[in-house]
Structure formats: structure tokens, C-alpha cells
Homo-oligomer: A and B are copies of this chain.
């Protein structure tokens, strides 16, 4: 056994989160793609079966009340809230991330002061955010200004209505400084909208603490909600009365069963709801979130950094010099929970890794992406992944 393998063994033995792995359905694959699709929590299959067979199959329509279907979007939002540093009553779950970006940006522009007619968007963001921001700008009469997060503070001004930034870059894994960027947006008199897809469940976000105005995120990465599970929308309590949705569906009406032809919005976070909630996916997500019981997000962050540090150390030891280039910042304050390595023939390399039981993903044109979900990835997994990468890239054992 190599030194690194022994180190991994010790790290696993002292890992306070190690027992969480048993709450997921895993095999002997090293699954480092939880930043794309989280693994299956063991509580989900039984819950989904109950939702399908009993709640839908036997209670049918009665389940809207009796099984708590109607209130699921806000109840599950409250379950996500502590993971992103939000007090209850500010998050609703439903729709896709893209649809929620649209709600958040249009509502932000409508809340911005007069004369503010520019939406600033992180130009390095996941493309859908940029596409939707372009549509939101077009439909609200705003200009769209794509800017790199590092250049954001200098780009803000009296015209800025809203700023959309991705908390962690989906490609490089770079973590952007949410507190200071939010403060800069506020100093310019604009609203800050954050996309938490790659940070929620992997590190503390502190939405309330840092005064974030609006936020969106998906639930199928570090929150393990399942493929295409519904996304969520956070609206800071102080802004909720002014949240003017571009998608005012009947679920956001103050009296949805009054069937009034005149729209009157519900109070609170409910304003973020649109149409009938997607119950099967919502309740699968609710079961998935139970694994967070008693898990402080700070402990998750500490393990996440230990995992990525150890991975980088193992890569240095096992991979031939020059074969990969790390795109992920080394500074902890700038690192999410993934490591991106640039290398030649990355698509082919990833296929060979997967053949050998190490699953990450490939991002066009030359990036190997490895995501580390602290709830179920251990240090021995990390050592093995780096070792197999070294073998594939032609290195010996370090």
C-alpha cells in the first residue's frame, strides 16, 4: 500500500461524515459526477413508491390536502433554506433553473429604481443563464452587459438594475466571492441575483447574512434530488411584497381556488410559484433532503476542501508532469467542490477513466471535471481516482 493510500485510510477513519455514505445507493464505482447528477439517496425509492401507489393510486385527488401535495413547494423550500443560509418562508421549489432565472431577473428589474435599464450578467456563467438574461433584458427594455465576475465592481453604475452571477463556475470550479460582490452590487444601488446550482449543498452560502436579493438553484447536483428535479427560487423577505412575477400562474394567487379572473398575488415566497407543482419529482426531492438531518454545512465544506486538496496532492504524485493543467484555483476561498483539469484528448481520457470505474465528466473542448460530494465520496475514492488517472495518462505509481 502506497503512502497516499495509507493517508486516505486514516482520513476516512477520522471522517465524521463517513457514515452518511450508507444513506446512498452506491457501488464500487468512484462517482465524481455528483456535481452533474447526485447519487440516489436510499430513502427515495420507498418514498416514491408510496407517493405513486398509495398517495396517487389510492387517495388520488384527496392527496392534494391529505398528503400535503399542495404545500410541497414551500415546505420543501424551507427544507433547503438552512443549507443556503436562509430563514424559513423565502424559498419555493418548482420549475427549472432557467425558468427561475427568468422570474428572478424580470422581478429584479421591476424592483430596481428609475433609470436603471441594464442587466449585468456573469459572462463565464453556465450558458442558460446568459440566454435567459438576454430574454429578460429584451422583454423589460434593458440592455444586457456580459462581464467577467472579476471585473464586476468596475462595471456597475447608475444604470445597473440587476446583476446575475453564478456562485461557482460550472467549468473551472472557481468560487466567486458572494459577500463582496453582493456588497458591490448594493453599493451601486442594484439587485444581486445569485445562481447557486454548483454551491448549494457543497459550501455555506449565507443568503440572509449577506443580504442577497434573489437566488436560484437546481436540486439535482449536491442536493441529490434526482434527474431534472425541480429548481428553487429565493426571494429575500424584505422584497417579497414588491416581487412582481412575469409568470403569475394560479398557484401564486392569494386565493387559488377562488378562481377569480383578476390576479392578486399571494403574500411571501408563494409569489414565486407558477402552475401546478410536479408532485412525483418534488416528493422524491423531499425524501432526498432527509440525508441532511443533523449535517452542518460547515462540516460539508471542511470535508469538501480536504477532498479536493487531497485529490490535487494525489494528482501531483500520480500523473506525469505536464500531462494535466489545473483550472481550479488553489486558494480555498476561490474553490468550489470540484476540480477541473485540462488535458489533451480529454474526451477520450474520460472514457477510459469511466471504463476503469472512475466517473467524472468531460466538458468541451479539453476539460476533465471531477465533482466531490462530501456526503458520499471518501478519501480512498479520491486516491483511487487520481491513481487511475495517472495510469491512463501513462504515469507510474507515485
A interface residues (Cβ-Cβ under 8 A, vs B): 25, 27, 31, 33, 36-37, 39-40, 44-45, 48-49, 52-53, 55-58, 60-61, 63-64, 69, 95-99, 102, 106, 123, 126-128, 130-132, 134-135, 139-140, 146, 171, 218, 220, 226-231, 245-251, 253, 257-261, 263, 274-282, 284, 359, 361, 363-364
Contacts and interface: CB of A to CB of B under 8 A. Distances in A.
A127 B259 contact: yes
Contacts of A260: 127
Contacts of A140: 139
B31 A60 contact: yes
Contact of A281 (B27, B44, B102, B278): B278
Contacts of A55: 227
Contacts of A102: 246-247
A353 to B, nearest CB: 13
A98 B249 contact: yes
Nearest to A39: B60
Nearest to A245: B135
Given A52-B45, A248-B135, A261 B127 contact: yes
B277 A228 contact: yes
Contacts of A57: 25, 39-40, 45
B37 A275 contact: no
A139 B139 CA distance: 6
Given A36-B61, A60-B37, A135-B247, A280 B279 contact: no
Contacts of A226: 52, 56, 279-280
B280 A48 contact: yes
Number of copies: 2
Contacts of A231: 275
10 contacts: A40-B60, A52-B226, A52-B284, A98-B275, A99-B99, A128-B249, A131-B249, A228-B276, A257-B364, A281-B281
Contacts of A98: 247, 249-251, 274-275
A44 B258 CA distance: 33
A139, A228, A230, A363: which has the most chain B beta carbons within 10 Å? A228
A267 to B, nearest CB: 17
Nearest to A264: B131
Contacts of A276: 96-97, 218, 220, 227-228
Contact of A99 (B25, B229, B230, B274): B274
A134 B359 contact: no
Contact of A359 (B25, B37, B60, B130): B60
A58 B39 CA distance: 9
A230 B279 CA distance: 10
A259 B44 CA distance: 32
A132 B247 contact: yes
Given A45-B53, A95-B99, A247-B98, A230 B127 contact: no
A44 B49 CA distance: 10
B96 A249 contact: yes
A147 to B, nearest CB: 12
Nearest to A265: B131
